[in-house]
Amino acid sequence: MKASPAHARHRRAIDPTMSNGTEGAPGAAPARSGGAVRRFLVLCFPTKGAFVLALLVCILAPGFLVVLHIHENPLLSPIDEGAHLDYVTRVEHGSIPRLGQRLQPSTLRVTACSGVALPGAGLPPCSSNRLVPQQFPGGGYSYESQQPPTYYVLTAPLQLFNEHVLGFGELEATRLVGVLWLAVGLLCLWAAGRVMGLAPGLIGAAVLLIGTAPAVIYQSAVVSNDAASVLAGSLVGLVAALAWRHPGRWTAPGLLVTGLVVASFKTTDVIAVVAVAGVFAVGAWLDRRRGQPWTGATKDFLRRWWPNGGALLLGGLVSAFGWVLISRHLALTNPKTFPAFGVLRTAPVDLTKIAQEALAMFGPVTESYAAFRSSARAVPPESLQSINLQAIMAKLLEYLLLAGGLAGLFVRRRAWYHWLGLVSVPLLYVGGVALGVSIWRSYAMDPGLSGRYGIAVAPFLAVALVAALRGIWLERGVWAFAILTFALSIYFMLAA
């Protein structure tokens, strides 16, 4: 579909290098005849080499790390994995958990027999004939019921397939679904980059950075709705890129539905929706007609922004706030006195504490992950593991993504990827503060903010980083960093 002159101006307003289409952008595939699906596939994979590269960085490399992590870490994650597993199995039985309910007997058995990677977690013996919730940390409550159901509803049938057809145990069968969540998310990120005009080598580097990042691998290897966050961010980026490239009547309803779906995976994924809506807002504002009164300029801005950014934002907010209201209605107890959260009510909380915790949001793919090593292994003090290179690389990755996001500060005429980064970075922090205040007020507890709440925004930072690279050596440097992260992850998971 050919873009209108007004839409072409809108796009050039935040990327003066773009023509009326993206055909002239670096890495864009030439126009070819055929159906819409075929043209899209040709755009994503213009050569056999591009297809092989996408297979490696989107599926094989990250999938191998996830499977290896599952194999090497049999203990339940201390980041609420048991409660997430309980949610999945309740969905299998045709219901969703409600705040105040206890964990199911099957979940108690898995927890007692697998153990939890949390020092001092007192658990009853696996051989006990009868397990009662009161024997478990937090009183054995199913305390993840405030999460939206989409991740669990889609995971449940795949878990059943892994368990009853492939023969895996309940925990492993559920964890392995994370490989699919991550692969689909990274393929969406690859497609979004290609629609944006990035060459396969550039978008491949961004995908590998995200696909091998510590927190991404960790969350994909345990039962958690954070496993869907890479897909959430990449999906909203892909749909927005398609709407930008092929404007038409479908733009508003398509982006409205996308916002609804993305925020239904995890409420915090709405931060990614707000970020993309913000980039659309920048374009609409820069493309407004100059010399108008403030009222006229505002109306002109809203007219341009509503069919894309406005619809997307509306969908995300309706989904996020709608589920909050539904979960509160379903609750069987007062969230502010829910005993499972008592451990987070031992110290006073104020805005200063929340503002400090929100700084962790700047590390969306590096904060809040466990060591890639079974906790049962001893680490010799003279070994490479004792240097903790993994933690060093994780911190460097955090700085690298922030640098890519803020690169637009140092140029005069900003392109789309500059605005994507400049909008995403502050939103990570602002979104973290807003989330912290919401949890504090709703549950009367310390929100315990961590970087994983911003995983959905991480793909935007990676894309902004590689799109801003200039020179083959910088591109090779990012590739080398991602490959080294991949290799170190394997070493730390396998080395004795």
pLDDT tens-digit readout, 451-472: 999 999 999 999 999 999 988 9
| C-alpha distance from residue 219 to each of 168, 227, 453, 467 (Å) | 19, 5, 11, 26
Give CA–CA dist 439/335, Å, rounded: 10
* DSSP annotation of 289: P
**Quick one: tokens of 362?**
């700047």
Return d(Cα 492, Cα 212) in angstroms, integer.
13
CB 372 within 8 A of CB 390: yes
- Within 8 A by CB and 6+ apart from 389, the residues are 488, 492
**Three-state DSSP state, 165:** coil
In this prediction, residue 473 carries a pLDDT of: 93
Work out the angle at residue 393's Cα, subtended by the Cα atoms of residues 389 and 399, and round it to the nearest 5 degrees. Answer: 150
**Chain position carrying tokens 């590390």:** 363
Model's pTM, two decimal places? 0.91
Question: What's the pLDDT score for residue 83?
Answer: 93
Angle (deg, nearest 10), helices 105-114 and 170-195: 90
Distance, CA of 235 to CA of 232 (rounded, Å): 5
- Per the CB < 8 A criterion, the answer to whether 150 and 264 are in contact is yes
Give the per-residue pLDDT at 369: 58
Residue 396: how many CB atoms within 10 A of its CB? 14
In the predicted model, residues of the chain with pLDDT beneath 70 are 1-34, 249, 291, 368-387, 496
The answer to whether 104 and 140 have CB atoms below 8 angstroms apart is: no
Place of tokens 């409205």: 256
Partners of 76 in the β-ladder: 116
Report the first-to-last Cα separation within the chain, whole angstroms.
Answer: 57
The three-class DSSP label of residue 141 is strand
How many CA atoms are closer than 13 Å to the CA of 492, on its beta-carbon side?
A: 23
